[in-house]
């Protein structure tokens, strides 16, 4: 059962926010936890990649215990990506784009990333952790994609205020999960897809699919068109 708003935790220096919130869970069995850290030393992205950040950037993790069919996890991705994009746009940023499944770009440069880790039993997700990193002040220059920051785009934002904005909106979505119009949210993300005109390569393990972007489905899946056929991809990475 959900126990109201998030229990909040704040740390000055930690190794990794997703790992730390798992430690917190051992002492606090609440169904909703949110953790903010000032300095994360060993940030982690998808497939074990390093997420670099500095003091002043946002690094946080959110843990939610909620039973979902495993096919619905893409909906959680839709929710959190939509929240961050909407916050950026409310701050006045233009040309905010979505690179499936979990990266956010501004002017073709990466500004934020999301890592979702799940606990699964018998095809049912029992809990999930959402790790979020936003370049507020720094912009790592050794990434595969060019990066940018909110500061570089003329915005002076405090990391803890951005953290509170995210969890307040996420709380609303989780409380009203059954009433969310995922078709609307997926259409909005489709409109913000980072590359609609060129062929994209999508890797899923050893499999490679190529095609033109068609849309983001209401379960968070990527749909591309290849030789007049639509390919639905539920998990993978655009290279």
The predicted-structure confidence for 196-235, as pLDDT tens digits, reads as follows 989 999 998 888 999 999 999 999 999 999 888 999 999 8
pLDDT at 1: 44
Any domain includes 221: no
Q: For residue 127, give the CATH number of its domain.
A: 3.30.930.10
Range of the domain at 155: 7-180
201 part of a folded domain: no
Residue 227 domain flag: no
Is residue 222 in some structural domain?
A: no
In a domain? residue 158 = yes
Longest dimension (CA), the chain: 54
Query: Pairing relation of β-strands 109-121 and 124-134?
Result: antiparallel
Q: What is the pLDDT of residues 151-197, one digit of tens each?
A: 999 999 999 999 999 999 999 999 999 999 999 999 999 999 999 98
pLDDT at 211: 95
Give the count of domains, the chain: 1
The model carries a pTM of 0.93
8-state DSSP, 71: G
Residue 208, domain member (yes or no): no
Bridge partners, 107 (sequence order): none
Residue at 107 is within a domain: yes
Residues 174 and 68: their CA atoms lie apart, in Å, by 12
How far, in Å, CA of 1 to CA of 66, rounded?
A: 8
Residue 71 counted as domain residue: yes
């Amino acid at each position: 059962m959900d126990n109201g708003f998030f229990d909040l935790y704040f740390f000055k220096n930690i190794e990794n926010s997703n790992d730390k919130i798992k430690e917190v869970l051992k002492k606090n069995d609440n169904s909703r936890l949110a953790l903010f850290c000032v300095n994360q030393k060993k940030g982690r992205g998808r497939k074990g990649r390093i997420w670099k950040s500095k003091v002043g950037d946002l690094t946080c993790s959110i843990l939610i215990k909620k039973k979902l069919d495993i096919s619905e996890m893409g909906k959680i991705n839709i929710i959190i990506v939509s929240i961050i994009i909407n916050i950026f746009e409310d701050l006045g940023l233009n040309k905010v784009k979505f690179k499936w499944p979990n990266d956010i770009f501004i002017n073709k440069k990466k500004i934020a990333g999301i890592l979702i880790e799940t606990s699964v039993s018998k095809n049912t997700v029992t809990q999930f952790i959402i790790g979020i990193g936003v370049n507020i002040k720094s912009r790592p220059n050794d990434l595969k994609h060019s990066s940018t920051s909110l500061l570089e785009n003329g915005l002076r934002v405090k990391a803890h205020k951005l953290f509170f904005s995210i969890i307040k909106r996420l709380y609303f979505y989780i409380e009203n999960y059954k009433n969310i119009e995922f078709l609307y949210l997926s259409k909005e993300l489709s409109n913000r897809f980072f590359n609609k005109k060129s062929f994209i390569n999508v890797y899923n393990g050893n499999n490679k699919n190529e095609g033109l972007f068609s849309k983001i489905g209401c379960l968070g899946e990527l749909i591309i068109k290849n030789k007049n056929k639509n390919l639905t991809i539920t998990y993978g990475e655009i290279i």
